[in-house]
Amino acid sequence: MIKRLRKLGESPRPIDRLIAVVMGAALDDRLKVFSDRQIGQLLFDFCWPDLYVDGPELIIVTQAIDRLRRSTGGPVTKGETQDDLKQQPVCPKCGNEMFLHYGIDEADFWLCDFVRCGHKRYVGGSCARGKS
């Protein structure tokens, strides 16, 4: 299924790309019931080989694979997905969705999905300046 999706996604024909979108949703549904270890295996089989040797992406994905392979986490439950959506704020600047980012060297924050807006709000309060 993943190999077929790749081919369809690379096709110049609009109908193939449309089929790829539908198949992508089906793949997402299938992955939801996989364990963390199975997701780690897919990362290793399908994503890891495409990364540049010595690139930071390879180092990060290798770390993720190692962690997922030791994880006992199971499928993402419906409740977890709905809790995420309930908490998801709307950008006060432009009205787009905001997504939670786990801070690296800073606190966790919500970031507006609209790249040109870039509104950022730290979890639990203070606003950070947007990109504009």
Query: Where do contacts with Zn ion occur on this chain (CB under 5 A)?
Result: 91, 93-94, 96, 112, 114, 117, 119
Q: Please state the closest distance from residue 83 (CB atom) to Zn ion, in A.
A: 22
- For Zn ion, which is the closer residue by CB, 75 or 130? 130
- For Zn ion, which is the closer residue by CB, 73 or 92? 92
Q: Please state the closest distance from residue 91 (CB atom) to Zn ion, in A.
A: 3
Pairing of strands 127-128, 98-101: unpaired
- For Zn ion, which is the closer residue by CB, 78 or 129? 129
Residue 32 has, within 13 A of its CA and on its CB side, a CA count of: 12
